[in-house]
């Protein structure tokens, strides 16, 4: 049985990756400090003999006693509301965290795949964004703590690959959605659905003309799995190139939920990208991968998940555990 360490295991993406690798017959070691992750995302795995959980902060030394074949580094705050509240922790998980993971991989002779992001492209001047585009990022803006953490993470990963010969893979993840997203994590999709379920008007920032491209989590997991198994060491975009404006997306959510709320507009946050759409030509040719789940189908699945939440969860104002874990 091959073994894999997945950091950020109790988070949205991490928990789905744990599911996939348990299903594939791996011994999965999940690791999370539970700042933004939730045990409810992996409760169903806790009794599986092929799964174990370590409550640990990856910015501190990582000790794994068994052999490891793979490491997936998915630990990180992942939305503006998170990394604006804990900017230093965001930078640390993208620097100290990846350093610890790469050091562990070197000792264990394991292959590492890191979760990078479309945010490395910043507010892009090239559209759609190919892997060859170097980006337009403001390193000292409010989003810089996340953008630069991910850019540093890519650089550190390539340094370990070229200098130490560590086997590495880099996935650049575009907007992904699905069950287990935190309802109030600040991103458009859960924000809109949460507002609709609570009977609130939907809030669009700016004039709503900015675009996003939404990829269902099952498609994303498949892309990550294929990239991990490939022999390609440069970054690869994984996302859905079906682009939609935020205003149009809000109207889709209103139609989906059957609610009568209106859309209200507020000021656009600083450095918010105006366009976001992946060029997935490389993923298609290299991995034979492209998204299969339509936005209509994926949104129905996601909506059913959010509808199943308790009223307490639905009306909870903050789903983060920053204070509980004394984050600095």
What is the rounded distance in angstroms from the CA atom of residue 202 to the CA atom of residue 223? 32
For residues 192-203, one letter each, b for 16 or more C-beta atoms within 10 angstroms of the residue's C-beta and e for the rest, the string is bbbbbbeeeebe
- Residue identified by tokens 């993208």 is 94
Find where tokens 């370590």 sit: 54
**DSSP per position, 130-178:** -TT---B--TTSTTHHHHHHHHHHHHHHHHHHHHH---EEEEEE--EE-
Q: Could you confirm whether 146 is annotated as catalytic?
A: yes
Contact 102, 157 (CB under 8 A): yes
Q: Which run of H or of E encompasses 265?
A: strand 263-266
Cα(238)–Cα(159) distance, integer angstroms: 22
For the chain, helix, strand, coil in percent to 5 are 40, 20, 40
Q: Choose, from 146, 160, 177, 303, the residue flagged as catalytic.
A: 146
SS3 of 72, please? Answer: strand
Contacts of 10 (CB under 8 A, 6+ apart): 30, 32, 34, 37, 38, 39, 41, 42, 53
DSSP run (H or E) holding 121:
none
Kindly list the catalytic residues: 146
């Amino acid at each position: 049985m091959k073994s894999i360490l997945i950091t950020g295991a109790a988070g949205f993406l991490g928990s789905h990756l744990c599911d996939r690798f348990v299903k594939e017959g791996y011994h999965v070691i999940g690791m999370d400090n539970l700042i933004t992750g939730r045990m409810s995302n992996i409760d169903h795995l806790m009794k599986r003999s092929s799964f174990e959980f370590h409550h640990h902060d990856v910015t501190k030394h990582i000790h794994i006693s068994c052999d490891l074949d793979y490491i997936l580094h998915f630990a990180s705050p992942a939305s503006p509301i998170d990394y604006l509240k804990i900017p230093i922790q965001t930078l640390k998980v993208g620097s100290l965290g990846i350093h610890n993971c790469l050091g562990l991989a070197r000792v264990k002779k394991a292959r590492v795949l890191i979760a990078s992001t479309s945010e490395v492209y910043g507010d892009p001047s090239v559209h759609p964004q190919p892997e060859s585009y170097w980006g337009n990022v403001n390193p000292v803006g409010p989003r810089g703590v996340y953008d630069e953490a991910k850019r540093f993470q890519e650089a550190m990963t390539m340094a370990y690959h070229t200098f130490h010969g560590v086997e590495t893979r880099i996935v650049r993840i575009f907007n992904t959605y699905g069950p287990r997203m935190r309802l109030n994590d600040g991103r458009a999709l859960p924000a809109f659905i949460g507002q609709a379920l609570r009977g609130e008007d939907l809030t669009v920032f700016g004039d709503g003309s900015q675009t996003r491209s939404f990829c269902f989590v099952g498609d994303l997991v498949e892309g990550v799995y294929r990239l991990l198994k490939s022999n390609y060491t440069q970054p690869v975009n994984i996302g859905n190139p079906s682009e939609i404006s935020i205003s149009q997306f809000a109207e889709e959510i209103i139609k989906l939920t059957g609610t009568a709320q209106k859309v209200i507009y507020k000021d656009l946050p600083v450095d918010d990208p105006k366009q976001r759409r992946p060029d997935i030509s490389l993923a298609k040719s290299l991995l034979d991968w492209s998204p299969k789940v339509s936005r209509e189908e994926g949104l129905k699945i996601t909506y059913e998940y959010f509808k199943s939440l308790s009223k307490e969860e639905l009306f909870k104002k903050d789903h983060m555990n920053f204070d509980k874990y004394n984050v600095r």
